[in-house]
Amino acid sequence: MADLTWCGAYAAWVNLEKVVFGFFVLLAATLNFGFFLGDIDNPHVHNVYELFAAIVVNCIATVLKFGDRTQVGAVHLATSLVALLQLIGAASVWVWASQVSAHGLDGEATSSVVSLSGGALLANVVSVVLLVVETVSFRRR
């Protein structure tokens, strides 16, 4: 019974909205990092499904950031929009290279995709740093 009481108190203390927000911010960064990691010009080490997952999770994270009206919330939204723009650009280059271009998905196209993903990763890292700073500076009211 004591364990259930502790769980209830913990559930009341934790803000579920903040947990979901933090989850998607961190998941967006880690998925993007997983896609980015590897030889920059080797298309075999960069999975297109991981890029797709990074785009979807970044879209969800962006939607979750729309409600915050603070200055930090505005910067969170800006970083998310930058990451989303970079990832959509990377996906566009991937589709162009693999479906339209006569050269296919070669080293040059893969380098462009991974570079755009790297820009998105930097934006995601800034978002994670903001999240950590905001969490550390939070004072219980």
Measured over the CA atoms of residue 138, residue 134, residue 128 and residue 91, the dihedral's sign is positive
Higher pLDDT, 139 or 53: 53
- Assess contact for 47 and 117: CB atoms under 8 A: no
Q: CA-CA distances (angstroms) from residue 80 to 26, 35, 86, 95? A: 12, 17, 10, 22
- Assess contact for 28 and 40: CB atoms under 8 A: no
Q: How confident is the model at residue 37 (pLDDT cuts 50, 70, 90)?
A: very high
Specify the pTM.
0.85
Using the predicted structure, report yes or no on whether residue 2 has a pLDDT greater than 70. Answer: no
- Distance from C-alpha of 38 to C-alpha of 73, rounded to nearest angstrom: 32
**Whole-number percent of the chain with pLDDT over 70:** 88
| DSSP designation for 73 | H
The pLDDT tens digits for 64-90 are 988 788 888 899 999 999 999 999 999
Tokens of 50: 């991981």
The pLDDT tens digits for 88-111 are 999 999 999 999 999 989 999 999
Q: How confident is the model at residue 140 (pLDDT cuts 50, 70, 90)?
A: low
Using the predicted structure, report yes or no on whether residue 31 has a pLDDT greater than 70. Answer: yes
- Assess contact for 66 and 103: CB atoms under 8 A: no
Using the predicted structure, report yes or no on whether residue 4 has a pLDDT greater than 70. Answer: no
